[in-house]
Amino acid sequence: MPPPNSLLFPSLLFLLSFFFILIFSRQVGKKSSSPPVSKLPRSYPLIGSAFAIFKNRNRRNQWFAELIRDSSNGTFILHRFLGVRHVLTANPANVQHILKTQFHLYPKGHTARVNLSDFLGDGIFNADGDNWKFQRQVSIHEFSTRSLRKFVETVVEAELSDRLVPILSKAAAENSVLNLEDILQRFAFDNICKIAFGFDPQYLLPSLPSAEFAVAFDDAARITSERLNSVVPAIWKLKRALDIGSEKRLRIAISQVREFAQKVVREKTRELEEKSSLETVDLLSRILSSGHLDEKLVTDMVISFILAGRDTTSATLTWFFWLVSGDSHVEEEILKEIRDKSETPDYDEVKDMVYIQASLCESMRLYPPVPSDSKEAAMDDVLPDGTIVKKGMRVTYLPYAMGRMEGLWGQDWREFRPERWLERDEVTGKWRRFVARDPYTYPVFQAGPRVCLGKDMAFLQMKRVAAGILRRFRVVPAMEKGFEPFFISTLTSKMKGGFPVRIEERKGR
Ligand code: HEM
């Protein structure tokens, strides 16, 4: 029986997709023993550089960094399926142009909306125009000095001393192996929920409770990012229409994430109705009290905040501990700085930890939590390096590639060297001042009007955690000697397979 008309299009797409997958797997299979290409990829009519994109799909950031190094001006155009051209740049002048000078020409745009909306809805990470402005305005209070002081001196402090330290102590006593990435994610998740939603999910408990929500959240982020990077976008659209494969998993994961976020919103709404005034005002209370938002938008905002607060700081700290564990000089300098401060440092002391700040910046230069970030041209334009951009083209800047460019960081760019961010006081010999790089050379927190709202909060949290752990423990990778962990990314980055470690109590603290 012939398929009904409504199924004709999906069926054709399915056949087309099958055909391409077959060709890709053959092409890739043929040369599986040869290293992936680094010169600018060949482009064919209709399919563009689909073979190279597919071949490098699991090492996208590394591949882009190689292509950037081979380009003459730090920019190249990737030819995608059906003649779609995608600008990728690591040129600071271009980054300044798209993030600041011509900000109005480079919104998130249509492609982001189509790909991200199922997961992020209209939350701040997927919003443009007035909706974005409103969410930024309402969220900005969360990051005042008063809130940040409270955050580091109470929320982070309690999570550290009541939950994290006891778990690490136990691991040290039992000589057991922990996945530090998982522990840090749990820590960051509890933290962001407490400060932003006034709610404690208790994910960092000694029993390390199974975190179904976290698994669903990771699945949703991974599959959504696969959509953004798919070789043939029609394939995921077809899978969604038929509710099969990864798109079916995505639908289930998103419904779990939404259910959780909705529960948080409903409980807070009930709490607000019951109490005439709240002792503490978190972001969620403020949003709900503003009154003119529907539940769906508030739920979207909660999901965006979880994404912002959970995965970025935990990824940074994971790589930070990996790098520090392999560098006794850096570890010594950090210990000197920690021992110069009180055992429970207050807000000002944490702010003053310049060597740890430099070490974190250096970790993020090599392993940025958001390794690439895309905009879409609202009009025809020309970038400062002469690249012609047509309306609707995707323009992506690449913090991962930028952190690895000799032209920006010098010949020693491969080295983990916090000193490149510091000035020493000649008289006292102490590290005196943190010297930031301009945000277009180092756009790890983005830059311009949409610069990360949580940057100061993130540094306070990460510095306090780094100091709290390293003062008392050594973190020792439980990996084979010479093993190099692999950097991967979905919407944010991770260490492939997690970070297995043993914890040792420091003697004579
Ligand atoms: C190491 C930690 C962090 C890094 C590297 C980082 C990086 C970024 C980047 C690259 C963006 C731009 C994303 C985009 O527009 O596509 C961003 C936006 C944002 N970040 Fe962060 N972030 C970090 C931690 C945090 C934390 C802890 C929060 C707190 C909740 C936070 C809140 C936000 C918010 C609300 C935005 C949206 C800003 C806007 O669109 O106007 N971030 N961040």
Q: What tens-digit pLDDT sequence spans the chain (509 residues)?
A: 334 444 444 444 444 444 444 444 344 333 333 344 447 899 999 999 999 999 999 999 999 999 999 898 999 999 999 999 999 999 999 999 999 999 999 999 999 999 999 999 999 999 999 999 999 998 998 898 988 998 999 999 999 999 999 999 999 999 999 999 999 999 999 999 999 998 899 999 998 888 888 899 999 999 999 999 999 999 999 999 999 999 999 999 999 999 999 999 999 999 888 876 666 678 898 888 877 678 999 999 999 999 999 999 999 999 999 999 999 999 999 999 999 999 999 999 999 999 999 999 999 999 999 999 999 999 999 999 999 999 999 999 999 999 999 999 999 999 999 999 999 887 777 777 999 999 999 999 999 999 999 999 999 999 999 999 999 999 999 999 889 999 999 999 999 999 999 999 998 66
Considering the domain architecture, whether residues 173 and 242 belong to the same structural domain is answered as: yes
Q: What pLDDT is stored for residue 429 in this prediction?
A: 73
Considering the domain architecture, whether residues 19 and 100 belong to the same structural domain is answered as: no
Alpha carbon of 245 to ligand 1 centroid (Å) = 31
Considering the domain architecture, whether residues 125 and 2 belong to the same structural domain is answered as: no
Q: Is the CB of 75 under 6 A from ligand 1?
A: no
Q: Is the CB of 354 under 6 A from ligand 1?
A: no
> Strand runs (DSSP E) across 293-448, as ranges?
373-376, 381-382, 388-389, 394-397, 422-424, 431-434
Q: Is the CB of 91 under 6 A from ligand 1?
A: no
Considering the domain architecture, whether residues 284 and 197 belong to the same structural domain is answered as: yes
In angstroms, the CA 353 to CA 340 distance is: 9
In angstroms, the CA 204 to CA 206 distance is: 7
Q: What pLDDT is stored for residue 18 in this prediction?
A: 43
Alpha carbon of 450 to ligand 1 centroid (Å) = 9
Considering the domain architecture, whether residues 152 and 28 belong to the same structural domain is answered as: no
Considering the domain architecture, whether residues 269 and 347 belong to the same structural domain is answered as: yes
In angstroms, the CA 184 to CA 179 distance is: 9
Ligand 1 atom index nearest CA of 124:
40
Alpha carbon of 125 to ligand 1 centroid (Å) = 8
- Is position 193 annotated in a ligand binding site? no
Considering the domain architecture, whether residues 372 and 397 belong to the same structural domain is answered as: yes
Residue nearest to atom 43 of ligand 1 (CA): 452
Ligand 1 atom index nearest CA of 360:
1
Q: Is the CB of 309 under 6 A from ligand 1?
A: yes
Question: How many domains is the chain built from?
Answer: 2
Alpha carbon of 121 to ligand 1 centroid (Å) = 17
Considering the domain architecture, whether residues 22 and 171 belong to the same structural domain is answered as: no
Q: What pLDDT is stored for residue 439 in this prediction?
A: 98
Q: Is the CB of 121 under 6 A from ligand 1?
A: no
Structure tokens at 331: 């570890």
Question: Which helix H or strand E contains 477, and what residues bound it?
Answer: strand 473-477
Alpha carbon of 305 to ligand 1 centroid (Å) = 9
Angle of helix 245-274 relative to helix 283-290, nearest 10 degrees, comes to 80
Q: Is the CB of 489 under 6 A from ligand 1?
A: no
Query: Within a 10 A sphere around the Cβ of 159, how many other Cβ atoms?
Result: 23
Considering the domain architecture, whether residues 308 and 354 belong to the same structural domain is answered as: yes
Considering the domain architecture, whether residues 311 and 278 belong to the same structural domain is answered as: yes
Q: Is the CB of 139 under 6 A from ligand 1?
A: yes
In total, the chain counts a number of residues equal to 509
Considering the domain architecture, whether residues 145 and 256 belong to the same structural domain is answered as: yes
Alpha carbon of 370 to ligand 1 centroid (Å) = 9
CATH code for the domain of 331: 1.10.630.10
Q: What pLDDT is stored for residue 26 in this prediction?
A: 40
Structural domain of residue 194, as residue ranges? 35-505
Q: Is the CB of 369 under 6 A from ligand 1?
A: yes
Ligand 1 mutation target, pool 144, 190, 402, 452, most atoms within 8 A of CB: 452
Query: Within a 10 A sphere around the Cβ of 376, how many other Cβ atoms?
Result: 21
Query: Within a 10 A sphere around the Cβ of 236, how many other Cβ atoms?
Result: 21
Q: Virtual CA dihedral for 184, 168, 485, 330, nearest 10 degrees?
A: 100
Considering the domain architecture, whether residues 118 and 17 belong to the same structural domain is answered as: no
Q: What pLDDT is stored for residue 443 in this prediction?
A: 98
